[in-house]
Amino acid sequence: MSLTSDGTEALVQPSAADVSDYVALMKPRVMSLVVFTALVGLVVAPGHVHPVIGFTAILCIAVGAGASAALNMWYDADVDALMTRTARRPIPAGRIQPGEALAFGVTLGTGAVVVLGLLVNWVAAALLAFTIFFYVVIYTAWLKRTTPQNIVIGGAAGAFPPMIGWAAATGSVSVEALLLFLVIFVWTPPHFWALSLYRADDYAKAGIPMLPVVAGPGETRRQIVLYSVLLLPVGASPWLLGYAGSVYGAVALTAGVLMVVLAWRVHGRTGAAGEQAAKHLFAFSILYLVVLFAALLVEGLGGFAGRMPA
Amino acid sequence: MNQGEVMDERSPDDGVVLTEEQKRRRRARSLAIGLALGALALLFYVVTIVKLGPGVLNRPL
């Protein structure tokens, strides 16, 4: 079953993979956040989308995200094996052959882009293709192992889904879609660096130049505060610029202030207390993104912004 | 199933003989692929109806 085996032994190795291993290869938890943000982009976009076409778009974006995850795990199997957080992933755990993951990822990725193009539109399909390329080639294969800015630039890949959803609905990209992109883009560094603060040993062991490994935890805490402060106006920008309603504005400001407070706590503490604060910030950052996009979804469905027919 | 029985009669040198667990997993994978393909066919059918509607019948004869 193995497609890229270099030894004859691997050629006669039957696949030991269960369906659940392939599901794990698609990083279902990351996928759920991608699906949610893409859905919001689709719903808040102006105009009417037939539910079946909308469902198709979300399905393709989800499968594209799954393909990116599979290709990421295929490329990163060597470093994943060295880190406790990732050592139990299907490839380092030996449940899926690297070639199987590669074939799975390429098939799903190609299929998702082609189906999105044929059934929805080619602008959305092109954006999805670029997102997969960006995540797998630019982030995974290039930046991740070479620069501490890896997740800052790589964060663009995770910021594209609402823009793809928007493009699926309208056939183009506009300022509103760009703002949704920016919210996730600026959100990613404090989110990921909070995690990397208490996983720094893991990253150092695997030789990945995450900020705490290269510049130290003090500089990382400083950067977390800087990005969290920047996130406050960026998060509120859809409301400040008049694209979202007051419900979203209130949610974005409240969550943004809480994010800054939690980041400040990370900044002020070291040792076990600092680790605890970083874990709190990491957990809250996920909630932050969910409530902001949920507020947009509620406004979009309720027609608060005056675009969607109630 | 015939193929499996034939394989079981061979000596190990002749090829790969799957264990029961490997057969079970292969069957689960095959089932998942089948379901995914079926869902894809259904999706294309439904989208065709949504996009073209009665226009499906509108073709030059």
Q: What is the DSSP string of A168-222?
A: HHHSS--HHHHHHHHHHHHHHHHHHHHHHHHTHHHHHHHT---HHHHTHHHHHHH
**Each residue of A53-107: pLDDT tens digit?**
999 999 999 999 999 999 999 999 999 999 999 999 999 999 999 999 999 999 9
The Cα–Cα gap between A41 and A50 comes to 15
Q: What is the pLDDT, as a whole number, of residue A172?
A: 96
Are B22 and A22 inside 8 Å of each other by CB?
Answer: no
> Furthest-apart CA pair in chain B: how many Å?
61
Are B47 and A52 inside 8 Å of each other by CB?
Answer: yes
Alpha-carbon distance A52 to nearest alpha carbon in chain B (angstroms): 7
**Which residues of chain B neighbour A12 with C-beta distances below 8 Å?**
15-16
Q: Is B25 on the interface with A (CB under 8 A)?
A: yes
A188-204 core/surface letters (b: 16 or more CB in 10 A; e: else): bbbbbbbbbbbbbebbb
**Each residue of A233-271: pLDDT tens digit?**
999 999 999 999 999 999 999 999 999 999 999 998 988
Please tell me which residue, A294 or B60, carries the higher pLDDT value: A294
**Each residue of A135-186: pLDDT tens digit?**
999 999 999 999 999 999 999 999 999 999 999 999 999 999 999 999 999 9
Q: From the centroid of its chain, how far is CA B44?
A: 17
Which residues, 6+ apart, have CB-to-CB distance to A146 below 8 Å?
Answer: A209
Question: What are the two backbone dihedrals, phi and then psi, of residue A131, each rounded to the nearest 5 degrees?
Answer: -60, -45
Q: Which of A14, A19, A119 sits opposite B18 (nearest CB)?
A: A14
Are B44 and A22 inside 8 Å of each other by CB?
Answer: no
Average pLDDT of the residues in A273-291: 97
Q: How sure is the predictor about B58, in pLDDT bands with cuts at 50, 70 and 90?
A: confident
Q: Which of A16, A50, A115 sits opposite B50 (nearest CB)?
A: A50
Average pLDDT of the residues in A203-232: 97
Q: What is the pLDDT, as a whole number, of residue B3?
A: 52
Residue among A188, A186, A58 at smallest CA distance from A124: A58
Average pLDDT of the residues in B21-25: 92
Residue among A210, A202, A212 at smallest CA distance from A82: A202
Q: What is the pLDDT, as a whole number, of residue A310?
A: 36
Q: Is B16 on the interface with A (CB under 8 A)?
A: yes
Angle at A33 between CA A190 and CA A123, to 5 degrees: 105
Q: How sure is the predictor about B57, in pLDDT bands with cuts at 50, 70 and 90?
A: confident
Q: What is the pLDDT, as a whole number, of residue A308?
A: 42
Burial class, A290, CB count within 10 angstroms (exposed 0-12 / middle 13-18 / buried 19+): middle
Q: Which of A14, A22, A53 sits opposite B50 (nearest CB)?
A: A53
Is pLDDT of B10 > 70? no
Is pLDDT of B56 > 90? no
Alpha-carbon distance A206 to nearest alpha carbon in chain B (angstroms): 32
Contact A54, A166 (CB under 8 A): no
Is pLDDT of B15 > 90? no
Q: What is the pLDDT, as a whole number, of residue B17?
A: 85
The Cα–Cα gap between A253 and A292 comes to 10
The Cα–Cα gap between A257 and A263 comes to 10
Alpha-carbon distance B25 to nearest alpha carbon in chain A (angstroms): 5
Residue-by-residue DSSP string for B24-53: HHHHHHHHHHHHHHHHHHHHHHHHHHHHHG
Q: Is B42 on the interface with A (CB under 8 A)?
A: no
Is pLDDT of A129 > 70? yes
Q: How sure is the predictor about A216, in pLDDT bands with cuts at 50, 70 and 90?
A: very high
pTM exceeding 0.80 = yes
Q: Which of B15, B22, B44 sits opposite A16 (nearest CB)?
A: B22
| Average pLDDT taken over every residue of chain A | 93
Q: How sure is the predictor about A306, in pLDDT bands with cuts at 50, 70 and 90?
A: very low
Are B47 and A19 inside 8 Å of each other by CB?
Answer: no
Q: Is B10 on the interface with A (CB under 8 A)?
A: no
Is pLDDT of A42 > 60? yes
Are A19 and B18 inside 8 Å of each other by CB?
Answer: no
